Structure 1
Amino acid sequence: MFVDVSTQTYIQEKPWNKVWESPEPTWSIACDTAHFEYDLCYLNRPTVIDPTTSTISVVDPTNSTPPTVIKIRPYPRKGQPEAMQRTKELTLTTSPLNTSCTVTHNNPALIFSAGGFTGNVFHDFNEGWVPLYVTIDEHFIDRDVILGIINCSDWWLIKYAELFSHFTRHPIINLDRETATHCFPSAIVGLKTHGVMIVDPTLQRGPRPKTMFDFRALLANAYDPSLTLPSQVLPTFSSDARPKLAFLNRLDTRKLLNHADARQAAEEVGFDVAMFEVTPHTPMRDLFRLIDSSHAMVGVHGAGLTHELFLRPGSVFVQIVPINCGWLADMCYGKLAIRLGLEYIVYEAEIHESTLQMDDFAMWQVMESREPASTLMGNMTNWYRYMNQDVKIDVVRFKRYLKRAYEKAKVLVQKKSLY
């Protein structure tokens, strides 16, 4: 049963009265369900996957009666029913399948979903690539694992094509397109997560615990700008020595209404500014090329700020936070900035800078001291109220923040000149 987060404070741990132990290799199926965000099942014996019925069978040498049957949605967001409803359910069983192996593999499998909230770049990384990195690093040596993916869209495979070879040495199996029965010596179903955009070395069992610096290094290898020429989709910086500012301009909700004035202010401060937008068709390699070559990045809170992952350590990250979104901005992008070794600056919009300044409820929320997570997550009306606001910043006040960012960015420019 899933927790209905619409009726309680967001990210509240479920009561738990069971004990999880390390899986015994003699168990055919061992599932860790003790975590708020994910379930993980270890299939320790020869494993048969029938993609036509979404059933995975594991041989049980004891022939236990009745057979084990476990339902799992392998997407690390189980605390949110909306995400899990978009994730295909798999059945794990110790009952033999009435089918033989069409394709036999010599390597173990990792089965997970690219469903849920996939399609929003923040969730692509928070519930996809970061948990995949954590799970593979802990359980599979030298990327010797075959990825079997459900809810696997063609656009997703194309968008992130450069990443796959850095997670596995084997071809991807899109289980949504398969009718053949696949057999593996063993498998893991599900992905681990350490929390929101976290690679936590204290939670790892390997000989060399990883951090977000290691994950960022993987992205740098995958999107190495030297491997291809720019596609001209995004703007470029000049060749002079000014600090470079990548200015992300949102096109839908939470727009910066006076973005032209904000850009002019950044240029007056001394930045070489490249203002850009991100669409579903913007190549990830081009985004990496632009942001990696910058010394600072600024944008209004939203999924596009996930691309702060492409900033080099020591770069400056400026987040413009609309009213009543501070807790969310901090959880998703502020703490990540610190983990990435970035200089982090927060510009919190005031009520007169928001299109909600005439909204009586929003004004009351600003005047009253309210717990922000409850305000947003208590009901979807509040959520959409704040997520759909636009911002017209006070350029004079914002310019003071840009001057701080410029001074910090100059430090990075000077360091680079020493190499």
Structure 2
Amino acid sequence: MKAVRSYPRPEPKRVGNGLIITSMVLSLCILSLIRTRYISSPFGKSQDLSDRSRRLVSRGEEDEGNRVLLEELREAKRPICVETSRRSDVCEASGDVRVHGSSQTVFVDRDLTSQEWKIKPYARKHDKGALANVKEWTIKAVPDKAPQCTDNHSVPAVVFSVGGYTGNLFHDFTDVLVPLFLTTRHFRGEVQFVVTDAKAWWLIKFSQVLRQLSNYEIIDADADGDAVRCFPRVVAGLTFHKELGIDPAKSPNGYAMADFKEMLREAYGLERAAAEPAGDKWDVRRKPRLLIISRKGSRVFLNERGMSDMAMSLGFDVRVADPDVTTDIGKFARLVNSADVLIGVHGSGLTNVVFLPRGAVFIQVVPMGNLGWLARDTFENPSPEMELKYSAYRIQADESTLSDQYPKDHPVFTDPQSIHKKGWGELSRIYLNNQNLKPHLGRLRLALLEALKLLPHSHTMAQ
């Protein structure tokens, strides 16, 4: 009888255990659904979780499960500062976010964080020279006496600096415009730009690009006086992937440099998406266009006229242009877009290759000084992502004015690394700022003929 009576006793326990397990599974499912629905990534859809958590408390649902949930909701709402790469930090907060631009402060709900965050919103975080020209911003909990909103905005804000090295075209694009595209394109214009370290001329110069990315007038944070602007979400800093490039695997919606170039085409009304002409064959009446990027001051082509004449003898329609800082960037973009082949010496002016049509050929002339690494990192590596055919023309000693300044056995020629070891200042003084070039026309002719073979449709050229 004892054995018979002993079997029924465990049954209620099994039922109880089943109920407990079922309850736990349901709780986990509910938590999972809530987290999926409300807890967004730094660049996902924002939600006001703070209000939701308060409603849980107000309903008296303070059992253990809701306390865990409440804690997770608060954790999810805490402003997050993440390193998107070695070059950039990005901070984000959602909910009731207040921006006091003149003091470079972003206030967030005190439920979200007790930590104070600091950021210089420019994508060159370890470069002291660049950051010397960038103001530091603070993200912190709103004080007991909250600053009252003077302006309420219904769209997210993105805070970024146009200080640093802006004014140099390469840095304009690699430090600001490409990261800005990467950070904001998925908002489809419904985003407010809050600019710090503003330069009026810079904002005017790139106004067509800025208008492609935001439907709203730019706010100059430093000149915003006592205004306290309230946003549902604020992103401070810009996402950076690599020099003049985007990693589609890491970008919202899989954006790539081809998408950035398409945005530039829309901004500047560029006609040519691709180097091939209309139809399936080259128009024999249309000569291939060669654009020579000219320079003044340093790394100058001393035989520019001879280069142009030689190229015309091959059948090129040649244009020579200098994209100095006063150039109308839209007008120059349209000239670049008309080219089939572009050639120029390493320097910021080559950044204009972003306007070349797909399939165009880009020849980077690399000065003496063992500068292959510099040429590679700045323009060679980004070229395939921009759908360009790349070629390098490396200057020899007798094509450089350095041969007139130093004996043949000088370390400038025999041991460039000894110059590199002295630092960027000495490297740039000798090899970048104190060198002009005179390419051999015979060598250059072969390079141009090779470039034509790389075009989508080959021309019949003089041999």
1:256 to 2:301 alignment: yes
Aligned to 1:121: 169
Task: Tell me the amino acid that sits aligned with residue 252 of structure 1.
Answer: G
Q: Deviations over 1:72-92 (max 9, x none)?
A: 100000121101111111111
Q: Deviations over 1:11-67 (max 9, x none)?
A: xxxxxxxxxx966773331111373101111112311111221111111226x6xx4
Q: Structure 1 residues 369, 286: closer, same or farther in 2, change over 3 A?
A: closer
Answer yes or no: is the 8 Å Cα contact 2:341–2:451 preserved in 1: yes
Q: Structure 1 residues 225, 57: closer, same or farther in 2, change over 3 A?
A: same
Task: Tell me the amino acid that sits aligned with residue 436 of structure 2.
Answer: D
Give the C-alpha shift of residue 361 in structure 1. 10
Q: Structure 1 residues 216, 410: closer, same or farther in 2, change over 3 A?
A: closer
CA RMSD in angstroms comes to 2.5
Aligned match of 2:138 in 91, 100, 113?
A: 91
* CA distance, structure 2, for counterparts of residue 197 and residue 362 of structure 1: 37
1:286 to 2:331 alignment: yes
Answer yes or no: is the 8 Å Cα contact 2:80–2:91 preserved in 1: yes
Q: Structure 1 residues 242, 187: closer, same or farther in 2, change over 3 A?
A: same
Aligned to 2:429: 384
Aligned to 2:318: 273
1:394 to 2:444 alignment: no
Q: 3-state DSSP class of the match of 1:118?
A: coil
Q: Deviations over 1:215-262 (max 9, x none)?
A: 111100111057xxxxxxxxxxxx951101111101122111111111
Answer yes or no: is the 8 Å Cα contact 1:72–1:90 preserved in 2: yes
Aligned to 2:187: 141
* CA distance, structure 1, for counterparts of residue 180 and residue 218 of structure 2: 14
- The structure with more radius of gyration: 2
Aligned match of 1:341 in 377, 383, 387?
A: 387
* CA distance, structure 2, for counterparts of residue 49 and residue 310 of structure 1: 36
* CA distance, structure 2, for counterparts of residue 87 and residue 375 of structure 1: 28
Alignment of 1:31-70 (within 5 A): 31-33=81-83, 35-61=85-111, 67-70=114-117
Q: Structure 1 residues 40, 380: closer, same or farther in 2, change over 3 A?
A: same
* CA distance, structure 1, for counterparts of residue 407 and residue 223 of structure 2: 51
TM-score by length of 1: 0.83
Answer yes or no: is the 8 Å Cα contact 1:353–1:393 preserved in 2: yes
Aligned to 1:8: none
Alignment of 1:144-223 (within 5 A): 144-179=190-225, 180-204=227-251, 206=252, 208-223=253-268
Give the C-alpha shift of residue 355 in structure 1. 2.0
Structure 1 regions of 5+ residues with no counterpart? Answer: 1-20, 227-238, 415-419
Give the C-alpha shift of residue 155 in structure 1. 0.4
Aligned to 1:298: 343
Answer yes or no: is the 8 Å Cα contact 2:288–2:316 preserved in 1: yes
Task: Tell me the amino acid that sits aligned with residue 349 of structure 1.
Answer: I
* CA distance, structure 1, for counterparts of residue 205 and residue 302 of structure 2: 29
The number of residue pairs the alignment matches comes to 373
Task: Tell me the amino acid that sits aligned with residue 386 of structure 2.
Answer: L
Q: Deviations over 1:287-325 (max 9, x none)?
A: 121111111111111101001011111111111110122
Task: Tell me the amino acid that sits aligned with residue 86 of structure 1.
Answer: N
Answer yes or no: is the 8 Å Cα contact 2:364–2:391 preserved in 1: yes
Q: 3-state DSSP class of the match of 1:403?
A: helix
Give the C-alpha shift of residue 271 in structure 1. 0.6
Aligned to 1:367: 414
Answer yes or no: is the 8 Å Cα contact 1:295–1:413 preserved in 2: no
Bigger drift between 335-344 and 193-202 goes to 335-344
Answer yes or no: is the 8 Å Cα contact 2:77–2:94 preserved in 1: yes
Greater share of helix residues, 1 or 2? 2
Aligned to 1:74: 121
Structure 2 regions of 5+ residues with no counterpart? Answer: 1-39, 43-72, 272-283
* CA distance, structure 1, for counterparts of residue 317 and residue 135 of structure 2: 47
Answer yes or no: is the 8 Å Cα contact 1:120–1:303 preserved in 2: yes
Aligned match of 1:27 in 66, 74, 77?
A: 77
Q: Structure 1 residues 86, 362: closer, same or farther in 2, change over 3 A?
A: farther
Bigger drift between 381-390 and 215-224 goes to 381-390
Aligned match of 1:106 in 154, 160, 172?
A: 154
Q: 3-state DSSP class of the match of 2:147?
A: coil
Q: 3-state DSSP class of the match of 1:163?
A: helix
Bigger drift between 91-100 and 278-287 goes to 91-100
Give the C-alpha shift of residue 370 in structure 1. 3.8
* CA distance, structure 1, for counterparts of residue 303 and residue 263 of structure 2: 36
Answer yes or no: is the 8 Å Cα contact 1:247–1:275 preserved in 2: yes
1:316 to 2:385 alignment: no
* CA distance, structure 1, for counterparts of residue 147 and residue 155 of structure 2: 20
Task: Tell me the amino acid that sits aligned with residue 248 of structure 1.
Answer: I
Q: Structure 1 residues 362, 384: closer, same or farther in 2, change over 3 A?
A: farther
Give the C-alpha shift of residue 185 in structure 1. 1.2
1:242 to 2:287 alignment: yes
Percent identical residues: 30
Answer yes or no: is the 8 Å Cα contact 1:32–1:41 preserved in 2: yes
Q: 3-state DSSP class of the match of 2:292?
A: strand
* CA distance, structure 1, for counterparts of residue 310 and residue 456 of structure 2: 17
Q: 3-state DSSP class of the match of 2:342?
A: strand
Answer yes or no: is the 8 Å Cα contact 2:346–2:375 preserved in 1: yes
Answer yes or no: is the 8 Å Cα contact 1:269–1:406 preserved in 2: no
Q: 3-state DSSP class of the match of 1:399?
A: helix
Q: 3-state DSSP class of the match of 2:88?
A: coil
TM-score by length of 2: 0.75
